[in-house]
Amino acid sequence: MADSPERRDSRSLTAVLARRRVPLGFIFAVVAVVLARPTWASWRMGLLVAAVGEAVRVWAAGHLEKSREVTRSGPYRLLRHPLYAGSAVIAAGVVVASRSVIVGVLVTVYMVATITAAVRSEEAFLAKAFGDTYDRYRRSAAEPMWRRFSIERALRNREQRAVIGVLAGFAILALKVMLSI
């Protein structure tokens, strides 16, 4: 039975959003900086929130063996997608720091669209690659694995890029605060 055109279009849009979420993120970041009205108080609070989100991402990246297994250690024992959860918390920190309702709306639209697409793509890959193992994990029926956090693994998963991105974004917002005084 063939897929309907609507279903094919939905899947292709999902694939495009999943693949293009990082470049789209840079575009949204530029718009967010332009529209942001940060103060030192909003900047500090936003940075604190974003740091919590990045800590979750680092913790997850330090357990993840991407495309090799269904990781079930560290934060993966608690959440199916801790990297995306960490990204959502970082995004909330950016919204707090920006002190802009428009930025809040744009960030929310971006995060919902791209993270939903990424989760759908990733889950389809994991189901196909790992079958029953992933299905049991998704149902919370899989045995947890016990693996220590590894900074080497986090670096192999390129989490330093996200750390640098958060630091750069907040440095730019700090510069915007300094120039507005």
Residues with Cβ within 8 Å of 154's Cβ and at least 6 positions away in sequence, in order, are: 58, 61, 62, 160
| From 57-61, 84-88, 121-125, 160-164, the region with the lowest mean pLDDT | 121-125
Does residue 164 or residue 19 have the better pLDDT?
Answer: 164
Q: How many domains in the chain?
A: 1
Q: Please write down the long-range contacts of 107-114, taking CB distance under 8 Å and 24 or more positions apart.
A: 107/28, 107/32, 110/24, 110/25, 110/28, 111/87, 113/17, 114/17, 114/18, 114/21, 114/24, 114/25
Q: Residue 76: what residue type? A: Y
Q: For 4-62, what is each residue's pLDDT tens digit?
A: 554 554 468 777 777 777 778 788 889 999 999 999 999 999 999 999 999 999 999 99
**pLDDT number for residue 162:** 95
**pLDDT number for residue 22:** 74
Q: What share of the chain is helix, strand, coil (3-state, %, to 5)?
A: 75, 0, 25
Q: Residue 179: what residue type? A: L
**pLDDT number for residue 141:** 82
Q: For 83-113, what is each residue's pLDDT tens digit?
A: 999 999 999 999 999 999 999 999 999 999 8
pTM of the model as a whole: 0.87
Residue 1 has pLDDT above 70, yes or no: no
Residues with Cβ within 8 Å of 119's Cβ and at least 6 positions away in sequence, in order, are: 81, 84
**For residue 54, what are the domain limits?**
5-180
Sequential DSSP letters for 93-112 = HHHHHHT-HHHHHHHHHHHH
What would the mean pLDDT of 128-149 be, rounded to a whole number?
90
Structure-block tokens of residue 46: 């936003």
Radius of gyration of the chain (CA): 18
